[in-house]
Amino acid sequence: MPSRHAFVRVFGLLALMVGLSACAGIGSSASPTPTSSGQVNGVVAGVIGTDFAVGRNRFTFTLANNSQPVTGAKPMVYFFALQGFNALPGGHGAAAFESVGSAARGGASTGIYVTHTTFDRAGKWGAEIDLQSGGKKHSLQTIFDVTSHGVTPAVGAAAPRSHNPTVSQEPVSRLDSGVPPDDMHRVSITNAIARHRPLLVLFASAAYCGAFQCGAEIAAVQSVEHRFRGAIDFVHIDIFRNARPSRLAATAVQWHIQSQPWVFVVDRRGVISAKFEGPASAGELEAALLRASH
């Protein structure tokens, strides 16, 4: 396990990096950019996330070596609570690779690394990501914020009963910027919850978000929808009103969406049982829906 002193040595540099790598806001592409990043000898780790809170969290990041995705690593992630110039160990775990798309047409698979951890306090936190790539050992440090309460609805909380417009009320072109649009605009969130069936809610703008983030996530959700159609409801909310990037959609505001994509899984009782910020694989979504179905 890395020493506290090894992590503290890079603390000042990481604080500067955080200031320089602020997340993109809704007013631009509304895509989640890395909260922070670490780089050593051409190997770069980028943390994907804007909404870490005290409690259990899904922690995701990308890895690249000389601008090429790293897909075969088996990284270990060590977490530290940062208090002044003290770094207090806060747990560790292995990160698994989840495929969420391809680097280019016909290219190699790309994706994210996922681990889960519990943050026991709010404030600045650090993560050290240890891996081997290109025959060398690398140790990458990154820093991020943890809040007392998340911005978006929490796991275990009642899902907002949103009256989002559907294709029975609006043309699909005003609900979905995708070409072609998908078929997940047939039921409102409040009506879906009233059916007492599991529900998946996707917040993403097909045309106004990066292909790696939203394009891959919409495709992942569509693949899962085909498997669970008839047993689980799927609702896709374009985060922009009328599917144009001028104002946020009312449902996105109600759910406090500040980045994209987001996926929420709601159980039969109308309670949020899982949530995913940034890309999530079809396998992650399927597992969450199976848990919500029991």
pLDDT at 6 > cutoff 90: no
Sequence-distant (≥ 6) Cβ neighbours of residue 105 within 8 angstroms: none
Helix (H, G, I), strand (E, B) or coil at 227: helix
The model's pLDDT over 221-261, given as tens digits with 9 standing for 90+, comes to: 999 999 999 999 999 999 999 999 989 999 999 999 999 99
pLDDT at 86 > cutoff 70: yes
CATH architecture of 4-146: Sandwich (2.60)
Angstrom distance (rounded) from CA 216 to CA 222? 10
Residue 260's Cβ-count burial label (10 Å; 0-12, 13-18, 19+) is buried
Angstrom distance (rounded) from CA 115 to CA 126? 15
pLDDT at 172 > cutoff 60: yes
pLDDT at 181 > cutoff 90: yes
Question: What average pLDDT is seen over the chain?
Answer: 87
The model's pLDDT over 19-59, given as tens digits with 9 standing for 90+, comes to: 433 334 454 445 554 455 666 667 899 999 989 999 999 99
pLDDT band at 2 (very low <50, low <70, confident <90, very high): low
- Dihedral, CA of residue 217, residue 223, residue 225 and residue 227, to nearest 10: -150
Q: Which CATH class is domain 172-293?
A: alpha beta
- Give the pLDDT mean for 106-117: 78
Question: Is 63 within 8 Å of 131 (Cβ atoms)?
Answer: yes
pLDDT of residue 264: 98
Domain ranges (residues) in the chain: 4-146, 172-293
pLDDT band at 65 (very low <50, low <70, confident <90, very high): confident
pLDDT of residue 33: 45
pLDDT of residue 22: 36
As beta bridge partners, residue 144 has 125
The model's pLDDT over 188-231, given as tens digits with 9 standing for 90+, comes to: 999 999 999 999 999 999 999 866 679 889 999 999 999 999 99
Q: Strand ranges (DSSP E) for the chain?
A: 34-40, 43-48, 55-65, 68-69, 76-83, 86-94, 96-102, 109-119, 123-133, 136-146, 199-203, 233-237, 262-266, 272-277
- Give the pLDDT mean for 168-197: 96
Query: Whole-prediction pTM value?
Result: 0.87
Q: What is the DSSP letter of 59?
A: E
pLDDT of residue 72: 86
